Structure 1
């Protein structure tokens, strides 16, 4: 479904004149967050502070997330298995009854609703139901509704089974969707909005103390996922090729265990054959460039304490430069192209499989210089129609081919 697809917002999509955002405006993004007071306290803020966060792109980010949050409202409900049924009308969905203890649903007078599973939610629902996901999938595929219903009723007789379900309310079409099953005890809702606010405030105060400047290059998002790519003013020359820019990636996944993460990635800036400046974004494995991490199971106090690990960013950049600098010694350019082409041909990643022919066709070219190599890799990543997960796969693959060749 398109409204839940991961989207990319590039620099040329930003508002004209987007040179940052005021602190009091930014805080509107998390007014309803249970961690609002923690943000105020940790950063020692005044809610009415008109100080401007001078990070270009921040205003566009605020607008995109604010609009998304209004259209797709997240709702967590705790429901017993006794109050769950299957509804096959028009399309398979899960019927939740006797919903209580949710202020948002109480305000709109809803105690019963049908939720359509999205992403991997259907599989996860049945996997959490005593691991009957494969069995249930076969029953649904064969239209054996009565057998699936009987299994559900039999399970209800055996044991209490209470779970917390993450729903998405599409306020435009007034439909509900099941997004995930989350922990009932140790799940802290560090969401996209909170991630954006923490990132912009943290970088704002870093600029004030270190004079390093940041700007948002582009970002990727959907209703429960966010990646922010910040260019910094830290740059090193790669002789004969171009420059390495220190790029900070701030990412968040509201569903997976690891919520908010700061890490360094590589941006190689170079002049292409048409004399235009290009940037190639590639990624090493996160484990060696991780700056800080906050998980969904981490309490608020420890989570905010982890923000102090930000000092690792500069150390990571120095190490990345040593690795990336080795591309000046590349002699067998076509060998690297061949390696990447083979990896694409043999990839089991669904998003890569869809574009295998188009991607490998781009690589059918004789490469004589490292700059040509970078240019052709950029063409891979910016192939029209390529999904965000495929781009991410290629960023890792290209880094490995260039650095660990």
Structure 2
């Protein structure tokens, strides 16, 4: 669960009508405080473009919103030996309160006002800490469920004694919310982790898209975004469509994903939409086909630039592969058969999040027969509204199942 309220916007191009794009100089504010500012300016040759205008409708709104969102929390890291980190207690929601002692960094002390910080675990930190350190998460959950506080207290006391000689170091990624509360949002490696944050990833993506627009005749607009203090997902939709039959067109989009916590730092996926008259259905291939660029938090900026340098070729390859498959789509001829096959696919889902939160509701939506593609698309629209923005895995799973059923139709 995010620490601050998630900011989302769907169908952005229909909402942000007076935003034709953003200047490079405005976009540069995204990396103004980045420790990699000078390196990015040099390696990505920003001087060649700093007087340009990035013609991506909605980009100015997105840049300003992300800069504003980034200020909602103070973000900093503490590199600490594990001997200085202990579990103070469990909260009523079964999160950890971690005690990080002997803080010596001057800038960190200015923020914490103490050399011993108490911070609540969030996201997957509880599991990472209990399992990586002691492999006892299930045991602790059992004790908490049965209110065995005496056993928990005794175990914590004994573990603290055993932990005193642990000289291994970890980077604890900390957030200070506006109300003054501290959170540990991730535990990472001290040596290899590079802070390619949300602002950083958006900036280099905008710059690379601008190069494609300027030199390769690409054309994009902001389609949607979902932002918290620690993750973002932005969809840039191509303004071009491809006609594959009398009734069907294919549209394309690039999906930028950045998770400052655990997943890839800069990840650009290809997704596409099937357009029937005024009806548009977004689908997503499997990870192997969809992933265009993927860079983790351990990769240096020269390597990052090298991978992004192939962006145009990777996009073209994705489009060509998609069009080859899409030419055979027959969904419009028998929408109810499509619905039945989709019900069958969802029945054997192994996606834990999807099964728990959405499977039953979506199966209910798909339970009635449909006669037209428009009735079917109405169900798809209801599913898109149903799946919450923070449940990225569930949305990806749903779109992948749509893709599978489309291609199964090809095979049949």
Same fold (TM > 0.5): yes
Kindly indicate whether the alpha-carbon contact (under 8 Å) linking 1:8 and 1:388 is maintained by their aligned counterparts in 2.
Answer: no
Q: Which residue of 2 aligns with 1:262?
A: 268
Kindly indicate whether the alpha-carbon contact (under 8 Å) linking 2:283 and 2:403 is maintained by their aligned counterparts in 1.
Answer: yes
Is 2:373 the counterpart of 1:366? no
Alignment counterpart, residue 249 of structure 2, candidates 218, 243, 247: 243
Is 2:142 the counterpart of 1:138? yes
Q: Which residue of 1 aligns with 2:180?
A: 174
Deviation at 1:330, TM superposition (A): 6.4
Per the alignment, in what secondary structure is the counterpart of residue 61 of structure 1?
Answer: helix
Alignment counterpart, residue 98 of structure 1, candidates 98, 102, 120: 102
Is 2:385 the counterpart of 1:382? yes
CA distance in 2, matches of 1:279, 1:100: 55
Q: Which runs of 5 or more structure 1 residues have no equivalent in the other structure?
A: 272-276
* Count of matched residue positions in the alignment of Structure 1 and Structure 2: 399
Q: Which residue of 1 aligns with 2:330?
A: 328
Deviation at 1:232, TM superposition (A): 1.3
Deviation at 1:185, TM superposition (A): 0.9
More deviation in 57-66 or 201-210? 57-66
Alignment counterpart, residue 395 of structure 2, candidates 391, 394, 399: 391
After TM superposition, the structure 1 = structure 2 runs for residues 6-25 of structure 1, keeping only pairs within 5 Å, are 7-12=7-12, 15-25=16-26
CA gap 1:358/1:130 in 2 versus in 1, 3 angstroms: closer
CA gap 1:19/1:102 in 2 versus in 1, 3 angstroms: farther
**Deviation sequence 1:4-30 (CA, Å, 0-9, x none):** 565532235855511111111111111
After TM superposition, the structure 1 = structure 2 runs for residues 226-237 of structure 1, keeping only pairs within 5 Å, are 226-237=232-243
Alignment counterpart, residue 197 of structure 1, candidates 182, 199, 203: 203
Per the alignment, in what secondary structure is the counterpart of residue 383 of structure 2?
Answer: helix
Deviation at 1:61, TM superposition (A): 1.3
Per the alignment, in what secondary structure is the counterpart of residue 160 of structure 2?
Answer: helix
CA distance in 2, matches of 1:350, 1:26: 35
Deviation at 1:213, TM superposition (A): 1.0
Is 2:166 the counterpart of 1:159? yes
Q: Which residue of 2 aligns with 1:83?
A: 84
Q: Which runs of 5 or more structure 2 residues have no equivalent in the other structure?
A: none
**Deviation sequence 1:45-102 (CA, Å, 0-9, x none):** 2499443211111122112211221112322111222322333386541111222236
CA gap 1:264/1:97 in 2 versus in 1, 3 angstroms: same
Kindly indicate whether the alpha-carbon contact (under 8 Å) linking 2:196 and 2:265 is maintained by their aligned counterparts in 1.
Answer: yes
CA distance in 2, matches of 1:87, 1:233: 54
Deviation at 1:177, TM superposition (A): 0.9
Deviation at 1:127, TM superposition (A): 1.6
Kindly indicate whether the alpha-carbon contact (under 8 Å) linking 1:340 and 1:397 is maintained by their aligned counterparts in 2.
Answer: yes
Kindly indicate whether the alpha-carbon contact (under 8 Å) linking 1:11 and 1:217 is maintained by their aligned counterparts in 2.
Answer: yes
RMSD: 2.7
Q: Which residue of 1 aligns with 2:223?
A: 217
Q: Which residue of 2 aligns with 1:340?
A: 342
Per the alignment, in what secondary structure is the counterpart of residue 150 of structure 1?
Answer: helix
Q: Which residue of 1 aligns with 2:63?
A: 62
CA distance in 2, matches of 1:386, 1:163: 31
Kindly indicate whether the alpha-carbon contact (under 8 Å) linking 1:76 and 1:102 is maintained by their aligned counterparts in 2.
Answer: no
Kindly indicate whether the alpha-carbon contact (under 8 Å) linking 2:81 and 2:166 is maintained by their aligned counterparts in 1.
Answer: no
**Deviation sequence 1:251-296 (CA, Å, 0-9, x none):** 222223532122211122333xxxxx34322100121233222121
Per the alignment, in what secondary structure is the counterpart of residue 380 of structure 1?
Answer: helix
CA gap 1:212/1:62 in 2 versus in 1, 3 angstroms: same
TM-score by length of 1: 0.89
More deviation in 157-166 or 297-306? 157-166
More deviation in 132-141 or 53-62? 132-141
Q: Which residue of 2 aligns with 1:274?
A: none
Kindly indicate whether the alpha-carbon contact (under 8 Å) linking 2:82 and 2:166 is maintained by their aligned counterparts in 1.
Answer: no
Deviation at 1:230, TM superposition (A): 0.9
